[in-house]
Amino acid sequence: MRVRLAFAAVAVTLLLPAGVAQSQVDTSPPVIVLEIRGALGENGWHIENTTLEWKPSDPESQLRTTTGCGVTTVSEETAGTSFTCTAENNAGLRFSATYVVKLDKFAPRIDRVTARPPDANGWFNHRIDFAPEAADSISDTSCNSIPSYGGPNTRRLRIVVRCRDEAGHRVSAERFYKYDETPPRRVRIVRGRPPDRYGWYSHKLRIRFVGRDGMSGIAACTSRMYRGPNTARAAVRGSCRDRAGNETFRTARFRYSKPLLTPAAGTLLESPPLLDWVSVPNARRYNVQLWHDGRKLLSRWPRGSRFDLDRRWRYAGRARILMRGEEYTWYVWPRLRGGYGELLGRSSFTFRRRAAESATARAST
């Protein structure tokens, strides 16, 4: 593209008195013509290498000197560089012309489309606000406005971005986004094994949470090993999380006691024990039996889930006593509406001598 610009000063005319001979006088400064080669964009910006060719002239007294004139090519981008051509004629008259080159040769680059990055794994899980921005090394930029998006869920949301710079370069691009705001559904709890007795677990239990997600898919679910503490209201909280970062929580509840009967098997005691066991739902009574050397020494039916054993008692018409140094085994059955249930458990203890008794026995020997 070729553009010609002419620069000229205002001419001055001198009027001499009548009868005075007029000599040849140059009253006009030089004329400067600028020829510009290179495409123009918008708002006074050039968009390709630009050549300035200054052409000063003076048809009357001719040119004496020129400064900054001639041919200049601008190839480096610039937000505004001034070029000036100054010419002086033989009459001593001087004239200057200035031209400012703004050069932006390249289209902007789209740097950002959304106001925030994806929430997880390239997925958005709540409203997407768009704030497209483009970068340009020289001129200012602007982009089209895009409304926010809040659903429905989709694996392929198409967005078209259009940006331009002040020089008139335009750029557009398609962007695709994934949107899932729905947490995983049908999250279920999977226990590693059935209860040991009457809904109670008596050793470590693996709890897993399993779920499905129809949009972004499951990323991870909780898996925990429970080892305690003992409680009739044990709880493990877990979740399943989809790839978009949405999470569904559930709580696994169960009974846990290790062991089911206390004192634990093999306990050494210096006084009669309090026999304790886990409660059985809907049990009306419990049958507690104490055995020694294959013989049953006691049978009782407490309502609650404990029995305080005495040192002496009567059973089957005979007096009984806990003997020092002997091991005893005890059993518990629940009494339900339809009869006795299966054995809840068995345990054992040894009724040993007290330290003081042992010392007395050694002294007597």
CA of 41: how far to CAs of 35, 37, 139, 173, in Å? 17, 13, 12, 21
Query: Residue 26: which pLDDT band, with cuts at 50, 70 and 90?
Result: confident
Q: How far apart, in whole angstroms, are the C-alpha atoms of residue 359 and residue 74?
A: 112
* pLDDT tens per residue across span 230-281: 999 999 999 999 999 999 999 999 999 999 999 999 999 999 999 999 999 9
* Edge-to-edge strand ranges of the sheet holding 94-103: 63-67, 78-89, 94-103
* pLDDT tens per residue across span 122-156: 999 999 999 999 999 899 999 999 999 999 999 99
Query: Residue 361: which pLDDT band, with cuts at 50, 70 and 90?
Result: very low
* pLDDT tens per residue across span 234-245: 999 999 999 999
> Which residues, in sequence order, are bridge partners of residue 161?
173
Amino acid identity of residue 39, one-letter, is A
pTM for the model stands at 0.73
Query: Residue 365: which pLDDT band, with cuts at 50, 70 and 90?
Result: very low
Query: Residue 352: which pLDDT band, with cuts at 50, 70 and 90?
Result: confident
CB contact at 8 A, 201 and 254: yes
Q: How far apart, in whole angstroms, are the C-alpha atoms of residue 158 and residue 149?
A: 11
Q: Which residue from 164, 162, 132 is spatially nearest to 148, judged by alpha carbons?
A: 132
